[in-house]
């Protein structure tokens, strides 16, 4: 074994392909200062191998990822979400699909630890975003056993499998924070875990009414998974840019109204969704014993409740982002939200 302290961790097989910070006893002890939970407290059993995830193991991987101690509470909340059977980390980790756990953070913790919610929100440059997301991935590798090409069989993956963590830009949003729509008080900090593909950018610099913009965003989302895949198997997240959000607010549209409009308006006749010689893939309803009438309009989205709307990104530029999910509530993943516990 090499004497190089960084090469040693590659040889141990505990990295994500990038160098890690050596988790010395002193560094782990400093990380544990970020919580009052006992180091041996069980957070959960992490799929797909159902390794026992304790606070100390979370701290070790947080050190390796480059976290500061004040990030640990967010990581623990994200790990609790990941271990919740409702999220179905086992299926997501072992699937051939592309998805990765996206961490969405709300509440006062965002400014306290300098999480980015604005310009370049999905990109580099912010330690909290980069290292919290990376720490969750390291937990998935080192505790859950999700190793690429072994138990993790994603055909392509995507860059979010290195790190995928954002904060909602609550200050630029015309709506209540996303976690409030999921039952939490505004003053509570919370983490939502969403099994998502890579962000799909949508550009609309022309629409000036809520209805026009909703149509533009909705029909741009009609091609996710497949242009004939109506309805989707999955939840979908729409990350609305602040300029687009202002357009909706100016016309008095709420988050709920936007979700319902997308559900009700983005529909195609059943006949146009059937596979044909020019487009083999077809609607997932084609296997039903009683197919819809040929002219029946089939929605792209399973329900308004399965459209999750968050405001994030920079305040200049009329862009939004769609993030398709992985499968649906029956056999797939349902987003999970947990409070961030300040101990």
Query: Which has the closest alpha carbon to 305: 323, 322, 329, 326?
Result: 329
pLDDT tens for each residue of 191-221? 999 999 999 999 999 999 999 999 999 999 9
Domain boundaries, the chain: 1-197, 200-324
**Can you tell me the distance from the alpha carbon of 335 to that of 326, in angstroms, rounded to the nearest whole number?**
10
Q: Is the pLDDT of residue 153 over 90?
A: no
Indicate whether this model's pTM tops 0.85: yes
Tokens in use for 157?
Answer: 């993956």
DSSP structural state of residue 225: S
How far is CA 238 from its chain centroid? 11
- Residue 191 · residue 130 · CB < 8 Å: no
Distance from C-alpha of 343 to C-alpha of 239, rounded to nearest angstrom: 31
pLDDT digits (tens, 9 = 90+) for 32-71: 999 999 999 999 999 999 999 999 999 999 999 999 999 9
Indicate the pLDDT class of residue 328, thresholds 50, 70 and 90: low
């Amino acid at each position: 074994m090499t004497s190089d302290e960084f090469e040693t961790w590659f040889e141990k097989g505990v990295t994500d392909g990038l160098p890690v910070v050596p988790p010395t006893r002193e560094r782990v002890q400093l990380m544990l200062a970020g919580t009052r939970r006992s180091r041996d407290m069980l957070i959960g059993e992490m799929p797909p191998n159902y390794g026992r995830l304790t606070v100390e193991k979370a701290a070790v991987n947080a050190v390796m990822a480059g976290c500061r101690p004040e990030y640990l509470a967010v990581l623990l909340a994200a790990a609790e979400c990941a271990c919740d059977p409702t999220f179905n980390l086992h299926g997501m980790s072992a699937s051939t699909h592309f998805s990765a756990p996206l961490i969405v953070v709300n509440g006062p913790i965002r400014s306290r630890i300098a999480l980015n919610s604005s310009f370049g929100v999905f990109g580099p440059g912010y330690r909290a975003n980069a290292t919290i997301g990376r720490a969750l991935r390291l937990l998935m590798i080192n505790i859950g056993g999700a190793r690429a090409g072994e138990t993790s069989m994603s055909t392509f993956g995507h860059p979010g499998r290195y790190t995928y963590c954002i904060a909602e830009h609550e200050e630029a949003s015309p709506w209540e924070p996303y976690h409030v729509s999921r039952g939490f008080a505004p003053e509570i900090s919370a983490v939502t875990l969403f099994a998502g593909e890579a962000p799909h950018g949508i550009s609309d610099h022309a629409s000036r009414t809520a209805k026009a913009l909703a149509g533009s965003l909705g029909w741009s989302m009609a091609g996710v998974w497949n242009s004939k895949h109506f309805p989707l198997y999955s939840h979908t997240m729409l990350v609305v840019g602040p300029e687009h959000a202002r357009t909706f607010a100016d016309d008095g549209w709420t988050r709920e109204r936007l979700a319902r409009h997308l559900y009700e308006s983005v529909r195609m006749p059943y006949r146009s969704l059937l596979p044909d010689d020019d487009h083999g893939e077809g609607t997932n309803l084609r296997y039903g014993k009683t197919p819809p009438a040929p002219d029946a309009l089939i929605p792209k989205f399973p329900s308004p409740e399965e459209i999750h709307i968050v405001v994030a990104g920079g305040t200049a530029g009329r862009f939004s982002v769609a993030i398709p999910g992985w499968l649906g509530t029956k056999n797939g993943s349902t987003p999970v939200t947990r409070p961030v516990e300040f101990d």
